[in-house]
Every structure is written in C-alpha cells, then in structure tokens.
Amino acid sequence: MLENLKAHLAPLRRQGLITIWNDTDITPGTNYEEEIKKHLDSAHIILLLVSPDFMNSDYCYSTEMDRAMERHTKGEARVVPIILRPVLFKDAPFGKIQALPTDAKPVKRWADFDDAFFNVAEGIKQIAEKMALPSQQGPQTTEESGTGNLTLYRTLKGHLGPVKSVALSLDGQVLVSGSDDNTIKVWDLHTGKELRTLKGHTDGVWSVALDSDGHTLVSGSIDRTIKVWDLHTGKEIRTCIGHSDEVNAVLLSTIKQVIISGSDDNTIKVWDLHTGKELRTLRGHTNAVWSIALSADGQTLVSGSADETIKVWDMEMWHEKRIPFWGHSDTVTSVVLSEDGQKIVSGSEDHKIKVWNAQEGRHLQTLIGHSDSVLSVALSANGKILVSGSKDETIKVWDIEAGKELRTLIGHTGPIWCVMLSEDEQVIASGSVDGTIKIWGKP
C-alpha cells in the first residue's frame, strides 16, 4: 500500500508542493533511529499509516508517534492519520485528528484502492496548500514584525464545548473565554491556570469583552441576554434584556460608559453600563449582525453582517455615516477598526479578508490565503499587522501594508472561531471548535 500511496502523491511532489520520505529510504550503514528522528523533527506534514500492525508496534506506536504528536500539538507540524486497514484507533492519541480517507473509511474497505488513495492525495494537497510551507515562501524572521518566530507555547483546556470568543486584558495578565458550554472562564495568561468559571447564561456564550481597567467583563449569549460581571469576584452585576434573537457580539466603551451589542435580530443596541438600561437601537442591516468594532474615541462604530455589508455609524448622532461598504459575497463575520480610525479590516465566509479606507469607504486591498471562511480578524495597535482565524483550522499573520502573508500557525483541530493579538504584539490567543484556547508567542 505504501507504494500505491507514493504513486498517488507523485503529482504533488512534481508540483513542488511536497517532498516524500519514509524509512525505506534509509541507506545501509546509516543510524536508523537518528535518521528517523531527523526527518520527524523537520517534516511539515507527518502521515501515520494506521493498521493493526502499526498499533501493535511498540516503536511506531510509542517512539515515532509520540514525537509526531508532540510537534503537532506545538503547531510545528501537521499529523494526518491514513487509515489503511480496520483497527480500533479512536482512543489513540491521534484519535481526534481528522483522518483520511474521508470519514476515516479504511483503504482496505474501498472497492478500488485507486479511489481510496486519490481521496487521500486530494486531502493532503489541500493541507499542503493551506500550510503555505516555509520551503515555498522562505523563512520569516523577527525583523519582519513583532509577531515573528511565533510558536505554540501553551494550550488551555477546560471548556466542554467550542470556544467562541476570547478577550485579553491590556496588561496581558488575564485572558477571558466564552464557550458553547454556557460558561465563561478566566485564566492567568502566564501560568495557564484557570482562575474561575462564571456561570449564569443558559446557552452558549458567543462574545466577551473587557474594559480598559480589566475590572468589568461583558458577555453576550445565544440566550439573547448580555451580562455584566465583576471580573475579580466573578459576581454577576446585571443582565441586559432587549434583543429578540441571539447576541453575537458585544463591546464595552469606557469613554462612553456604554455596552454595544449586535444580534441575529438584525439590530445593534446601546446600553447604559451602570444601569443596564437600553439607550438606543440602530437599525439598517437586513440580516444578522455578526461583528462590531468601536473607534478609540468612541465616536465611530463599525458593524459586519450576514447581509454581506459593512456599516459605519456616528455614535454622537446615532445614524449611519455613509452608504454601506459592499464587496464581500457572503456573511461578514468579523470587523476591526485601526486605532487611528483610518482602516477597517473585514473577514468573511467568502474566504477573503478586505481592507478599507474608513473615512472614504474605499476598498484598498483583498488578502487571499485561507481556503475556508474567515471567522475572526485582529489588528495590531499600529494597524500594520493583521491576524486571522479560519474555518480551515489555520491562523495567518499578515503584513497589511505589503499585503503579504507572513506566516501560518497550525495546531488547532477544528475551525478557529476567535483570535486576539496582545497590545505589544508578542502574544496571539486563539479559540477553536476543538474546545481549546492556544497561546502563541516567541520562544
């Protein structure tokens, strides 16, 4: 079967997408274990050829696979199990990783082996293209941006469902996460320790936001409510009720002392932070409001919607500043506004990221690289570096000014719903459908 697989991967090798190595390539007189370790340590994609023999081999199951999984967990490589023959593997360390062929149907059970290996080759091609391998793009260094040489250094586990939102305190000490398990968790970012769990919502928590002092937390939920919490005590302060459908996005303005929320009911609502009273409802979108962003001075609000538009609102006059931004061909899932108020960046289910001139409504550029929906975008304080998370299970770091992808981070085993970039650009936090939060930083 190995030779059949290599034959089907040959076109990818000729295209320069991959190089192929396995232990049958070891020449006589070479140290067997050292050679395998060298290739395991340098590979970008590691295929596990899973069969009863593989599972029964102490060396394959323990030594080789342990190293492969270690690099996969750190985001240094992508492990792909290839199920050759029927065997119990779901409880193995790699059991939760998406396997090939499709639906983990063993190659042996396909009527035609060529069909099975063609399916495998297609899957590997998608992964190779998605990874944007350094051998194709050239190494990226710390001189290119503050986000150079990022590696996965911590995985936070505790949620029992997909992580839909993360927020970082300005001092970089605390991370807050919201999940479909109906809870909010507060973490010490440096130790990875879970500090407390906040319970009160009766359905998934899709958005969390912190004030600039790190004292107050706001959360929005599928249960249609917004809750205000004391971050240090974990006590619920008040609940804001008014939306008639799921709350997808919340933010908190310390300057304006308001909470702003976007909902599946197509509206944006503004609430008094201290009383929970609804102050205003902004109407204009014709479909769900997925994302909102506020300027540093609290004067301008930007919203992205399933109606495929981006709207810009005057928060003094409570109306739209200009005609909507059109350009995406699917739901606008995420929007962010640069601190100087000059740029808007949007991510969409059309797989694209667009950069706009916020003042003129002019489209500046489109960033293409993700192979599936872009679910979240985050922008550096100076507006030069962008981070994006996607349904394709990758995080990408971009140089906005050059319109260039700097690097791809791989480690999650499910769609990446949310990304955040720390103020000093040294840390990226990501939350995924796989139920984990991953922290990326410099070694």
For the chain, the straight-line distance linking the first and the last C-alpha, in angstroms and rounded, comes to 40
Place of tokens 């955040």: 420
What confidence score (pLDDT) does residue 149 get? 65
Query: Are 122 and 149 part of one and the same domain?
Result: no
Q: Which of 81, 106, 135 is the last residue of a domain?
A: 135
Q: Give pLDDT tens digits along the chain (443 positions).
A: 888 898 999 888 777 677 788 777 776 776 777 778 877 887 889 999 999 998 888 766 677 788 888 888 777 788 999 999 999 988 888 888 889 999 899 999 999 999 999 999 999 988 887 664 333 333 333 334 455 567 888 999 999 999 999 999 988 889 999 999 999 999 998 899 999 999 999 999 999 999 988 899 999 999 999 999 999 899 999 999 999 999 999 999 988 899 999 999 999 999 999 999 999 999 999 999 999 999 988 899 999 999 999 999 999 888 888 788 999 999 999 999 998 889 999 999 999 999 999 988 889 999 999 989 999 999 998 889 999 999 989 999 999 988 899 999 988 989 999 999 988 888 999 999 999 999 998 65
Query: Are 279 and 355 part of one and the same domain?
Result: yes
DSSP labels for 88-111? --TTSTTTTSPPBTGGG--GGGSS
Query: Are 180 and 213 part of one and the same domain?
Result: yes
Alpha carbon 311 to its chain's center: 24
Query: Are 86 and 206 part of one and the same domain?
Result: no
- Please give the residue range of the domain that contains residue 98: 2-135
Torsion region of 33: left, alpha or beta (phi above 0 gives left; psi -120 to 50 gives alpha): alpha
Query: Are 300 and 216 part of one and the same domain?
Result: yes
Q: Which of 107, 135, 163 is the last residue of a domain?
A: 135
CATH of the domain at 425: 2.130.10.10
- Cα separation values, 253 from 26, 101, 274, 277, 300, Å: 62, 49, 12, 15, 11
| E strand segments, 84-200 | 151-157, 163-168, 174-179, 183-188, 194-199
Across 110-133, b (16+ Cβ under 10 Å) vs e yields: eeeeeebbebbbebbbebbbbbbb
Query: Are 114 and 194 part of one and the same domain?
Result: no
Distance, CA of 147 to CA of 144 (rounded, Å)? 8
Number of structural domains (the chain) is 2
Omega of the bond leading into 101 within 30 degrees of 0 (cis):
yes
DSSP-H helix ranges across 171-243: none
